[in-house]
Amino acid sequence: MKSNLIIYWVRRDLRLEDNSALFYAIEKARETGAIFAPVFILEDYMLEASPESQFGYPQRFLLARAIPKLTEQFPQFHLIRGKGARSLIELSQIHNLEIFVNQDIYPDFDTQISKIREAGIKVNIFADRLSVNPETRSQNGSLYTVFTPFKKSVWQEFLNLQALPKPELNSINYASTPLSSSWQYIEPQTNIIESLFNTKREFRILDITYDLDQYFDLPDLSNWYTSESEALESFQHYLVFGKLENYSLNRNSLELDIIDNGQTSRMSLALAWGFVSARKLKDEIIRYLNLSVEELSMDNKTSNGASAYISELVWREFYAYLLYHQPDLLDLEFQAQYRQTMDWVQGKKAQDRFVAWMTGRTGYKVVDASMQQLVQTGWMHNRSRMIVASVLSKNLGIDWRWGQEYFRASLIDLDEPSNNGGWQWGASVGADPKPIRIFNPYLQAENYDTKGLYQDKWLDEKYHNTVLEPIIPHPQARQEAVIRYKQAKEVYLVSKNAKG
């Protein structure tokens, strides 16, 4: 006779507090007396590091350190190697499974859930990466396509979301190992997990594979937090040192980014891998500043920084909302007028420009400094992300998907909805449409790196001593970009009219 087994399937939620799937899985195990098993599955795409299924070196580095710290929190933990859906379906042959999992706005999540449910296994899915109601609609019943109306619609809902407490982990019966003889168990130690990962650092654009080892040394990722407690400690340090109060003024400053660990919280990594939830950060802000929800809704000096920070959390909700409803946005422009109508630079010229951009050799100093920050740390300031995305797509005329793919290979804080939303925004093909934004890299440097400290930090002496002309002068690049986008619209309108 099969035993009843409650599975908490860990994915991008490496925490205990405000973890809905974990909280309710433990509650169900306690109520029913079923045995309980937290499970993390090291899947093939993670281990193989193939260009087809991008899982970059920074993410491999992080997981090898984060998983052991998470497993230490549980009396018993199941770390296995295999395919997600297949492993759980195999387990259902010997146990009556009920799976608890947090929703993951990633391409393979719905596919795996469908396979599991088709096998007759009960799956409970909880809102996590997208906290607000995904069925939020505008007054005319359509999906929101512009951020500000979306923000107004969900602001109060987001502020009132309740974070769940850390569950009591020791009051239930844990399943012993092995749960199944077909499962390949992995010892949760950093060196063992790292030994399973392919060491390649490759990504693919069209039919060309780029090997990052040919261009760069490994980034230094040793200063990043890799657990829930470390992430919370980092955020509390950010609050205690008063950086939130001036967040709206300082968050775009590149020169301040290199002074005293910068003026941003660097919580993008915590949110990407679920060390901390957006709801928890919101609650920490309210608690620390002793503000009410009503005060956060008002534009006053007391809550200015806090409101600006929470607004950025809602931006993350917006991008997750869009990708939730349109998974094809990873490869498709949100705006129909730019789908297959853009005359992107092609061939060897595109490849040469892309490599120059990737390696920080565009001749635009602020762009090259930004790319070096990414190369050396696995992270890039948000203002820099906007600048380099605009320059790649507008100045250099390169398809935005190339930049998205490079970021996927290089960012330690990769979050698919935010990365995709940011690239589509930077290329002016995404949601929140406005007149085409063509960032002037010189003005961006003057406005956000007024003393050149950021550029001095990330560009070495050799770069400073080399006269590197821009690949294309900005006035010419701007003119070409305007023509490119105008022609794309014209092509779209002609095609649309032809279809009737």
Residue 73 lies in a domain: yes
pLDDT at 48: 87
Clarify whether residues 392 and 439 are in a common domain: yes
CA distance 113 to 124: 10
Clarify whether residues 316 and 342 are in a common domain: no
Clarify whether residues 428 and 468 are in a common domain: yes
- Where does the pLDDT of residue 253 fall: very low under 50, low under 70, confident under 90, or very high at 90 and above? very high
The residue out of 94, 111, 128 marking a domain boundary is: 128
Clarify whether residues 436 and 319 are in a common domain: no
Tell me the per-residue pLDDT of 407-454, one tens digit each, with 9 for 90 and over: 999 999 999 999 999 999 999 999 987 789 999 999 999 999 999 999
Clarify whether residues 396 and 492 are in a common domain: yes
- What are 234-239's contacts with CB under 8 Å, separation 24+? 234/265, 234/266, 234/267, 234/270, 235/265, 235/267, 235/270, 235/276, 235/281, 235/284, 236/284, 236/288, 238/265, 238/266, 238/267, 239/284, 239/285, 239/288
Residue 207 lies in a domain: no
Clarify whether residues 415 and 460 are in a common domain: yes
User: Which distant-in-sequence residues (6+ apart) come within 8 Å of 26 by Cβ?
Assistant: 8, 36, 167, 168, 169, 171, 172
Which domain range does residue 358 map to?
Answer: 336-498
- Where does the pLDDT of residue 303 fall: very low under 50, low under 70, confident under 90, or very high at 90 and above? low
Residue 90 lies in a domain: yes
Averaged pLDDT for residues 57-85: 97
pTM for the predicted model, two decimal places? 0.96
Residue 299 lies in a domain: yes
The residue out of 325, 345, 360 marking a domain boundary is: 325
**CATH assignment at residue 257:** 1.25.40.80
Inform me whether the pLDDT recorded for 24 exceeds 70: yes
Q: Of 165-169, 177-181, 442-446, which range is least confident? A: 177-181
Question: Could you give the number of structural domains in the chain?
Answer: 3
The residue out of 272, 300, 325 marking a domain boundary is: 325
Q: Of 43-47, 149-153, 232-236, which range is least confident? A: 43-47
Tell me the pLDDT of the chain averaged across its residues.
94
Alpha helices in 365-473 (DSSP H): 365-377, 382-390, 400-410, 416-426, 441-448, 453-458, 461-464
Q: Are 18 and 46 in contact (CB under 8 A)?
A: no
